[in-house]
Structure 1
Amino acid sequence: MPKYVIERLLPGAGDLSASDLQGISRKSCDVLEALGPKVQWVESYITDNKIYCVYIAPDESLIRKHAEMGEFPIEAVNQVRTIIDPTTSE
């Protein structure tokens, strides 16, 4: 199943409290439950003004539907084509 990296612009994201992040996570999980098992949230990375989320889904439309239902911003959706890490150099 394809993996996607979603870029979300959220000014001040790095200053969100643990409670704020828990609320965002709960909302995302509630939407995922409504959408069914075809779309999965893997993890997210919080920077100063953006959140980068990794999802697994059959296509981009489910990623966008999740964002629409949860009222989450989307700047870009990028399908991961391959993954490399330090072992790739061996």
Structure 2
Amino acid sequence: MKRFIIEREIPGASNLSQAELADIAQASNDVVAGLEVPYTWVNSYVAGDKIYCVHETDEVETILEHARRGGFPANTVSVVANEFGPHSAAGAGA
């Protein structure tokens, strides 16, 4: 499966309560269960007026269908080309 970063513009996202985030999570989980294709919601991050989500599936169209069914915006959907982190520096001298 491909990994995608989804940018969702939601005014006031930083002010959403834990209960509101739980409701959003439940709605997302319900949609994922009904998609009938491989789909994994990895994690989401709230920053300012945006929520950044990491999801895995085969096609961008599935990401957009998840957003449509859940009533979530999907303002930008980008496929992840590569991943790296602090551990990646270990291979720099090789």
Asked if these proteins are the same fold (TM beyond 0.5), I'd say yes
Structure 1 residues not aligned, in runs of 5+: none
Count of equivalent residues: 90
- Supply the RMSD in Å over aligned alpha carbons: 0.9
1:78 corresponding residue in structure 2: 78
What is the aligned partner in structure 1 of residue 30 from structure 2? 30
**Structure 2 counterpart SS, 1:81:** coil
The alignment partner of 1:29 has SS state of helix
Matched position secondary structure for 1:61: helix
Flag the structure with larger Rg. Answer: 2
2 CA distance for matches of 1:83 and 1:74?
Answer: 22
CA distance in 2 between partners of 1:23 and 1:59 (Å)? 26
For residues 9-48 of structure 1, the aligned pairs below 5 Å read: 9-48=9-48
Which stretches of structure 1, 4 residues or more, deviate above 6 A after TM superposition?
none
Q: 1:64-75 to 2 correspondence within 5 Å?
A: 64-75=64-75
Match of 1:49 in 2: 49
Task: Give 2:27's aligned amino acid.
Answer: K
Alpha-carbon distance in structure 2 between the residues aligned to 1:22 and 1:86: 31
Q: Residues of 2 paired with 1:64 and 1:40: CA distance?
A: 14
What's the TM-score once normalised by structure 2's chain length? 0.92
Q: Secondary structure at the match of 1:64?
A: helix
TM-score normalised by the chain length of structure 1: 0.96
